[in-house]
Amino acid sequence: MHTAAIHKKSLQAMEAYGIKVDYKGLSWDTLRDNIQAYIKGMNFSYKGSLQQECTYANQMAAFESMEESGTITLEYSGTK
């Protein structure tokens, strides 16, 4: 919605320079639907890339230690 506000401000600036703009208003439903579709698409692509790069384990885990290199060691204990 921030981008939509920036575009509205640009339209107002254009009018100040003598450019006639026929502003017909804003459709909140269209704006909301497009933002939601964009977010769903981003989430889908993130999920797809994670599935390719990660191995999923349906197990409970706890942090055991963190080494100097920044590597985290996990201790798995059975399935959830």
61-79 per-position pLDDT tens digit:
676 666 666 666 666 666 5
CA distance 28 to 78: 48
Q: What is the mean pLDDT of the chain?
A: 77
Angle 48-52-56 from CA coordinates, rounded to 5°: 95
pLDDT beyond 70 at 27: yes
Residue 21 lies in domain: 2-79
Average pLDDT over residues 24-31: 84
Domain count, the chain: 1
pTM for the full predicted model: 0.43
**Adjacent-strand bridge partners of 59:** 79
The b/e string for 39-67 (b: 16+ C-beta within 10 A; e otherwise) is eeeeeeeeeeeeeeeeeeeeeeeeeeeee
Contact 73, 66 (CB under 8 A): yes
